[in-house]
Amino acid sequence: MIGIEVDSLAVRLDRLLQATTAQGLDAALITSDESIAYLTGFRPIQMERFFGVVVRPERSAVIVPALDRGQIDDAPEALARISYGPESDGLPELAGALTGAGTVGVEEDHLIYARARALEQVGFELVPAGSAVMGLRIQKDAGEIERIRRACELVQEGLRRAFEWLSPGVVEHALNARVEGWLRERGATAAHPLILFGENAANPHGEPGSRELRRGDVVCADLSACLDGYWGDLTRCATVGPPSEWATSAWQVVLEAQRAANAAAQPGVPGRDVDAAQRRVVEAASDLGAVLHGAGHAIGLSIHEPPFLVPRAHEPLPERVVLTIEPGIYRAGVGGIRLEDDVVVTTGGPAILSDLPLELVDVSA
Amino acid sequence: MIGIEVDSLAVRLDRLLQATTAQGLDAALITSDESIAYLTGFRPIQMERFFGVVVRPERSAVIVPALDRGQIDDAPEALARISYGPESDGLPELAGALTGAGTVGVEEDHLIYARARALEQVGFELVPAGSAVMGLRIQKDAGEIERIRRACELVQEGLRRAFEWLSPGVVEHALNARVEGWLRERGATAAHPLILFGENAANPHGEPGSRELRRGDVVCADLSACLDGYWGDLTRCATVGPPSEWATSAWQVVLEAQRAANAAAQPGVPGRDVDAAQRRVVEAASDLGAVLHGAGHAIGLSIHEPPFLVPRAHEPLPERVVLTIEPGIYRAGVGGIRLEDDVVVTTGGPAILSDLPLELVDVSA
């Protein structure tokens, strides 16, 4: 859909090496699951065992637990394979791969303190450099955009199912579990449905509980799923029976806010301006409820990744960042209305990766 | 089942304060989701927003995003409530709560480098002190053991269902999704089924794929679920049709290894001895396959928590730690056999928290 190439893993690694040396660093240490997946094609699930990629001129390497050695066959050839057994915690092998480097850029929002300290104690100087890898990950290539689009396609099919299953008496947590199971059976490697009923929907961080669906409820259905490594995340709303005056008005305002934020999502515009575009609309309707969060966030290998569309986001958006745009209005004791789409920022205007109507559905009709 | 009290959150907070001051620290900073749940009764899901507990004489506090303020009502009264809005990243509020402290103990395996660095840059001296809170969390009270037992009860019911659904032609990832949905519908807040067929079961970290179940397969079914904050984690094996000579022999060896490790799991014994007890048995049968992991790990608020039962675990086990005991044997191209139970270490001998038979089930029978 967007005429750009699909990057190879080797190209990504090379770009990260350039970004690292351009910052005057001797090496970069990549430790987050998603950045490792971005560079190697394999997404580890790290618990106590260390897994990392060292990027440096001529001597890049991937350090893996021996158990996972077989899973990194697709990683670029430029990465030396270093594995360690159960007698090690992987840090001596990591220090070995960094030998001779003075300054090491790290993913400061992921590296844990114990490992940072161990590296500093053997003489490496750590420098926050998460923006180097995020500066690459933020711009999606055609293959990544297609994968996010397919995740959205699955999620919107899940939303259609969820709405079919919304009949009075259904229990909130059981419905969420059913939708999660449905998404997983269709190949999602992870899925987070958050479908909240009536007054529970007034809390955007609510947890599905034993509440039964009743006639007159508003339903706020936020579904996300990870398919083939990439996330899709959409929200639609419904009512059980004809919508109340509040629900109709809130939905209209949120729809207008979403359109305003979509229109603002242009290359070169700072994230805070996208937030401001929706905030202006929803805050003008404060009689309908509270504004509890920003306009959204970027999405890709992570379900939440920078930039976050909040008032302190002053960096200009690049082309081909994919954003969730998700304004909402919440009235305590009554419910919440939120509309969310995933949008590619392009010079030609925002490209929305789903085609599910935004309408407020009466599921009893 | 075990005659000890259920600790109140306030008692836990007080014990942690004692452990902190006994280490000569001015304060402790708790940042992992599970330790926060241990102290406040609320388990946050932290993404980009900071959430933490500061423990210090007279001035303990919990720092929460404003959005989550309503969810910490059950936290001990001794914790001052400090919340912050979207204009902050929470760190100025954290630094404020620590004002006057020189040395601050941190959970070194959870605190991220960016936050550690921000605290160090305003003058705090950080000290690894994860063992202070883990030293409390390791010993489960009666209420915690009961919750783990109930999680195991759900998991063993899930295993019974999974075995009913094992018929030739069923697709690996679809079965896993169905079992996950079943566990979630019954109240699991998270569930990780890992049911692998035939040669896929030879990789203990395998990922369920499109493989169909066939007659002659061995199945290794590892199920975990989190119920009411605590995890249960069990593994049982099956065959489709009469077991091969390999499967029968491997199952007998693993059963013997599990019994040996259970018997070794006594208060005062180091974790490595529990590992050695099973390792001796499975390694003696190396003609049957490879030994790819240690004897297990502790379980509780986290699915994997220390101590890990591996050769470098030299600390003595305390009473009332709950361990997974899970020896296995893996033969490439053929399959894997693992048996796993969750076991409370007590002076009266190991107490197993499930009663599902360990037998190698022929699901076609």
The answer on A124 and A149 residing in a single domain is no
Contacts of B304 in chain A (CB under 8 A): 47-48
Interface probe for B, chosen from A113, A171, A192 (most Cβ of B below 10 Å), is A113
Q: Which residues contact A245 (CB under 8 A, 6 or more apart)?
A: none
The one-character DSSP state at A133 is H
Q: What is the pTM of this model?
A: 0.88
The answer on B132 and B149 residing in a single domain is no
CA angle, A45 then A47 then A53, to 5°? 60
Contacts of B71 in chain A (CB under 8 A): 205
What pLDDT is recorded for position B60? 97
The answer on A84 and A149 residing in a single domain is no
Q: Is the Cβ pair B111, A108 closer than 8 Å?
A: no
Size of interface A-B (CB pairs under 8 A): 113
The answer on B266 and B129 residing in a single domain is no
What pLDDT is recorded for position B3? 45
What pLDDT is recorded for position A3? 45
Q: What's the domain range around A52?
A: 9-137
The answer on B183 and B108 residing in a single domain is no
Contacts of B187 in chain A (CB under 8 A): 173
Candidates A203, A293, A311; nearest CB to B87? A311
Residue that is written with structure tokens 């290998």 in the block: A301
| B120 inside 8 A of chain A by CB | no
How many domains are contained in chain B?
2
The answer on A166 and A133 residing in a single domain is no
Beta strands in chain A (DSSP E): 27-30, 52-55, 61-65, 80-84, 103-106, 125-128, 190-191, 194-197, 218-227, 230-239, 296-298, 305-309, 322-325, 328-331, 335-338, 341-344, 351-352, 361-362
Instruction: Reduce the DSSP state of residue A337 to 3 states and report it.
Output: strand
Q: Do residues A161 and A179 make contact, with C-beta atoms less than 8 angstroms apart? A: yes
Q: Which of A88, A111, A137 is the last residue of a domain?
A: A137
Instruction: Reduce the DSSP state of residue A99 to 3 states and report it.
Output: coil
| A70 inside 8 A of chain B by CB | yes
Cα–Cα distance for residue pair B211/B217, rounded to 1 Å: 11
In this structure, is residue A59 part of a structural domain? yes
Residue type, A302: S
Cα–Cα distance for residue pair B323/B308, rounded to 1 Å: 9
Q: Do residues A229 and A188 make contact, with C-beta atoms less than 8 angstroms apart? A: no
Residue of chain A with shortest Cα separation from B172: A185
What pLDDT is recorded for position A4? 56
The answer on A257 and A203 residing in a single domain is yes
Interface probe for A, chosen from B42, B91, B113, B279 (most Cβ of A below 10 Å), is B113
In this structure, is residue B188 part of a structural domain? yes
Candidates B71, B108, B180; nearest CB to A112? B108
Q: CA of A267 to nearest chain B CA: how many angstroms apart?
A: 24
Q: CA of A3 to nearest chain B CA: how many angstroms apart?
A: 32
Bridging pattern class, strands A190-191 and A61-65: unpaired
Q: Is the Cβ pair A111, B106 closer than 8 Å?
A: no
Q: Is the Cβ pair A181, B180 closer than 8 Å?
A: yes
In this structure, is residue B2 part of a structural domain? no
B10-26 tens-digit pLDDT? 999 999 999 999 999 99
What pLDDT is recorded for position A319? 96
Q: Do residues B196 and B203 make contact, with C-beta atoms less than 8 angstroms apart? A: yes
| B210 inside 8 A of chain A by CB | no
Low pLDDT (below 70) residues in chain A: 1-6, 47
| B204 inside 8 A of chain A by CB | yes
In this structure, is residue A4 part of a structural domain? no
Q: For residue B83, give the CATH number of its domain.
A: 3.40.350.10
Residue of chain B with shortest Cα separation from A120: B113
In this structure, is residue A175 part of a structural domain? yes
Q: Is the Cβ pair A47, B86 closer than 8 Å?
A: no
Q: For residue B174, give the CATH number of its domain.
A: 3.90.230.10
Q: Report residue A154 as tokens.
A: 């699955």
Q: CA of B348 to nearest chain A CA: how many angstroms apart?
A: 31
B65-118 tens-digit pLDDT? 887 887 888 899 999 999 998 778 899 999 999 999 999 999 999 999 999 999
The answer on B163 and B128 residing in a single domain is no
Q: Which of A85, A103, A137 is the last residue of a domain?
A: A137
Residue of chain A with shortest Cα separation from B89: A312
CA angle, A192 then A196 then A199, to 5°? 155
Burial of A61 (0-12, 13-18, 19+ CB in 10 A): buried
What pLDDT is recorded for position A2? 42
Question: In this predicted complex, what is the ipTM?
Answer: 0.87
Q: Report residue A344 as tokens.
A: 């590619």
In this structure, is residue B4 part of a structural domain? no
Contacts of B128 in chain A (CB under 8 A): 113-114, 117
The answer on A97 and A170 residing in a single domain is no
The answer on B73 and B171 residing in a single domain is no
Candidates B111, B184, B310; nearest CB to A181? B184
Low pLDDT (below 70) residues in chain B: 1-6, 47
| Per-residue buried b or exposed e for A187-207, using 16+ beta carbons within 10 Å of the residue's own CB | bbeebbbbbbbbbbbbbbebe
The answer on A152 and A284 residing in a single domain is yes
Angle, helices B9-22 vs B130-137, to 10°: value is: 140
Cα–Cα distance for residue pair A51/A39, rounded to 1 Å: 13
Q: Do residues B152 and B234 make contact, with C-beta atoms less than 8 angstroms apart? A: yes
Q: Is the Cβ pair B128, A114 closer than 8 Å?
A: yes
Q: CA of B295 to nearest chain A CA: how many angstroms apart?
A: 12
Candidates B48, B86, B304; nearest CB to A311? B86
| B122 inside 8 A of chain A by CB | no
The answer on A125 and A74 residing in a single domain is yes
Q: What is the 3-state secondary structure (H, E, C) of chain B?
A: CCCCCCCCHHHHHHHHHHHHHHCCCCEEEECCHHHHHHHHCCCCCCCCCCCEEEECCCCCEEEEEHHHHHHCCCCCCCCEEEEECCCCCCHHHHHHHCCCCCEEEECCCCCEHHHHHHHHHCCCEEEECHHHHHHHHCCCCHHHHHHHHHHHHHHHHHHHHHHHCCCCCCEHHHHHHHHHHHHHHCCCCEECCEEEEHHHHHCCCCCCCCCECCCCCEEEEEEEEEECCEEEEEEEEEECCCCCHHHHHHHHHHHHHHHHHHHHCCCCCEHHHHHHHHHHHHHHCHHHCECCCCCEEECCCCCCEEEEECCCCCCECCCCCEEEECCEEEECCCEEEECEEEEECCCCCCEECCCCCCCCEECCC
In this structure, is residue B307 part of a structural domain? yes
Q: Which of B137, B168, B186 is the last residue of a domain?
A: B137
Candidates A109, A173, A203; nearest CB to B112? A109
In this structure, is residue B231 part of a structural domain? yes
